[in-house]
């Protein structure tokens, strides 16, 4: 069976026989990078649990990665790369404790467990010893990853810090990759991550899965971060590319992991939404990267496997919950688009009802604007324009290109071309994404 896009691979898949021999530097570096991308959250989570210091765990895990980039091309890839990184990170943590306080109580306890003066095993064929077994408890891995997500998405952090920290310590992305995805300088990303770790330390945020009574509130922060990451990948807010699929697929992968760690209704709802939306990615751009709008997409190119996975996740959200929440309702809307054979054959009346329900549980001007679009498809552009004009009168979404772009579309459908052109030109001026701005300019010119 083909592996789903964005799914994590077992480490054995990335350490083929014979790869990473001594002197085979490029191959060894590829293995290091692959192992880190797949296993970094497990490594940081295990080290954070063991040291009870999130910032230290992230730092020493990064140091272990740097050491692997030097040692593995020279000595060969160890038989258990993850255990090697764990052992190295743990030794680095002990060094840090020694530097901090010499022989304080915590260092003494760690030293007793690890065996003072031990050597990190790391040559070809090396295997983890008893100390590795002590740290690498398979029954705790899921808890460690879940705790890592909750810490990285803690409400004490800003939205930007949560996103950067999640991609770094849970997703395994480098600062350069995060900066490239969000079109910000690398030092900006590094500063956000550094400030986030200092903030967590100052707030004394414990490395733990929140208690049941606190988990629902905190889970919302985790889900929101994954939603933000996916949204930026699905439709970039700025830059020359309309989409950043790699970023979106990373959010899908993390959401898939989260459903295993926290099988709650809205977790399945978010996964369903991301899968059902990402299913349309193959048809959303032309070969030269130009946006292809929904009505012009070749639906035969949609990812049917992703649609099946999304519908399965949506069914799970219904099965484990008492009605759909905001992400589940958005997933149900996406499902209507994915199962329709064309735009005219879409069940727009059903979508209007779903948007009305979404507006009750998670009211926002964007939801109202999307409902107006659905109403225009179900009852005609005049009905949709009335709803949009109400948003204009209330002065919501000011400064956003979304409102004038929708209003321009509806005016054009009503034959009010001069007004429509003005709205579309305004939308183009407000739009930060070059590709989408080009689409709006072309629509205005056509009128």
Q: Give me the pLDDT at residue 11, please.
A: 42
Tokens 């709008």, residue located = 293
Cβ atoms within 10 A of the Cβ of 318, count?
Answer: 17
Q: Give me the pLDDT at residue 108, please.
A: 60
Instruction: Name the DSSP class of 285.
Output: B
Q: Give me the pLDDT at residue 237, please.
A: 75
* Structural contact between residues 46 and 132, judged by C-beta atoms closer than 8 angstroms: no
Q: Mean pLDDT in each 10-residue stretch from start to end of the chain (447 residues)?
A: 36 41 66 81 85 84 88 87 88 81 58 51 41 50 77 89 87 80 84 91 86 78 89 79 83 89 92 97 89 92 97 95 91 97 96 97 94 97 96 89 95 95 94 88 92
| Count of alpha carbons within 13 angstroms of residue 32, beta-carbon side | 25
377-396 pLDDT per residue, tens: 999 999 999 999 999 999 98
The C-alpha atoms of residue 215 and residue 155 are separated, in whole angstroms, by 12
The C-alpha atoms of residue 175 and residue 187 are separated, in whole angstroms, by 8
Instruction: Name the DSSP class of 235.
Output: S
Q: Give me the pLDDT at residue 73, please.
A: 87
The C-alpha atoms of residue 337 and residue 339 are separated, in whole angstroms, by 6
Domain locations in the chain? 11-115, 142-206, 216-346, 359-447
Question: What is the number of H-type helices and E-type strands within the chain?
Answer: 21, 0
> In what helix (H) or strand (E) does residue 53 lie, and over which residues does it extend?
none
* Structural contact between residues 299 and 341, judged by C-beta atoms closer than 8 angstroms: yes
Considering the entire predicted model, what is its pTM? 0.73
Main-chain phi, psi angles of 291, to 5 degrees: -65, 140
305-364 pLDDT per residue, tens: 999 999 999 999 999 877 899 999 999 999 999 999 999 999 999 999 999 999 999 999
The C-alpha atoms of residue 108 and residue 43 are separated, in whole angstroms, by 22
Domain 359-447 sits in which CATH superfamily? Answer: Tetratricopeptide repeat domain (1.25.40.10)
Q: Give me the pLDDT at residue 58, please.
A: 84
Output the CATH code of domain 142-206: 1.10.10.10
Q: Give me the pLDDT at residue 12, please.
A: 40
């Amino acid at each position: 069976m083909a592996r789903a896009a964005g799914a994590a691979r077992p480490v054995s898949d990335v350490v083929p026989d014979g790869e990473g021999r001594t002197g085979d530097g490029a191959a060894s570096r590829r293995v290091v990078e692959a192992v880190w991308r797949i296993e970094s959250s497990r490594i940081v989570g295990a080290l954070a649990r063991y040291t009870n210091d999130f910032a230290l765990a992230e730092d020493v895990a990064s140091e272990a990665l740097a050491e692997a980039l030097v040692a593995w091309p020279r000595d060969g890839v160890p038989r258990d790369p993850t255990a090697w990184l764990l052992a190295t990170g743990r030794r680095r943590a002990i060094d840090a404790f020694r530097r901090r306080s010499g022989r304080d109580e915590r260092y003494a306890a760690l030293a007793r467990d690890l065996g003072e003066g031990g050597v990190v095993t790391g040559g070809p064929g090396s295997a983890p010893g008893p100390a590795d077994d002590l740290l690498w408890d398979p029954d705790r891995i899921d808890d460690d990853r879940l705790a890592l997500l909750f810490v990285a998405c803690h409400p004490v952090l800003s939205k930007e810090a949560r996103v950067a920290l999640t991609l770094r310590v849970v997703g395994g992305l480098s600062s350069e990759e995060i900066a490239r995805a969000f079109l910000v300088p690398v030092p900006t990303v590094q500063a956000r991550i550094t400030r986030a770790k200092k903030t967590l330390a100052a707030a004394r945020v414990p490395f733990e899965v929140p208690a049941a009574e606190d988990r629902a509130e905190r889970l919302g922060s985790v889900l929101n971060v994954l939603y933000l990451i996916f949204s930026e990948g699905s439709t970039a807010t700025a830059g020359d590319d309309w989409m950043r699929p790699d970023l979106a697929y990373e959010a899908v992968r993390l959401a898939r992991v989260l459903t295993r760690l926290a099988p709650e209704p809205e977790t399945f709802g978010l996964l369903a939404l991301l899968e059902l939306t990402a299913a349309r990615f193959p048809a959303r751009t032309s070969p030269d990267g130009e946006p292809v709008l929904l009505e012009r997409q070749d639906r035969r190119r949609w990812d049917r496997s992703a649609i099946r996975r999304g519908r399965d996740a949506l069914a799970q959200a219904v099965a484990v919950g008492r009605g759909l929440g905001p992400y589940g309702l958005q997933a149900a809307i996406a499902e209507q688009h994915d199962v329709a054979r064309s735009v005219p054959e879409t069940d727009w009346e059903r979508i209007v009802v779903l948007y009305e329900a979404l507006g009750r549980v998670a009211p926002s001007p964007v939801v109202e604007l999307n409902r107006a679009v659905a109403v225009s498809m179900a009852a005609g552009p005049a009905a949709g324009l009335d709803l949009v004009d109400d948003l204009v009168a209330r002065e919501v979404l000011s400064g956003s290109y979304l409102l004038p772009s929708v209003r321009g579309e509806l005016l054009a459908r009503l034959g009010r071309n001069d007004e429509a052109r003005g709205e579309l030109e305004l939308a183009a001026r407000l739009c930060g994404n070059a590709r989408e701005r080009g689409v709006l300019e072309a629509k205005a010119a056509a009128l």
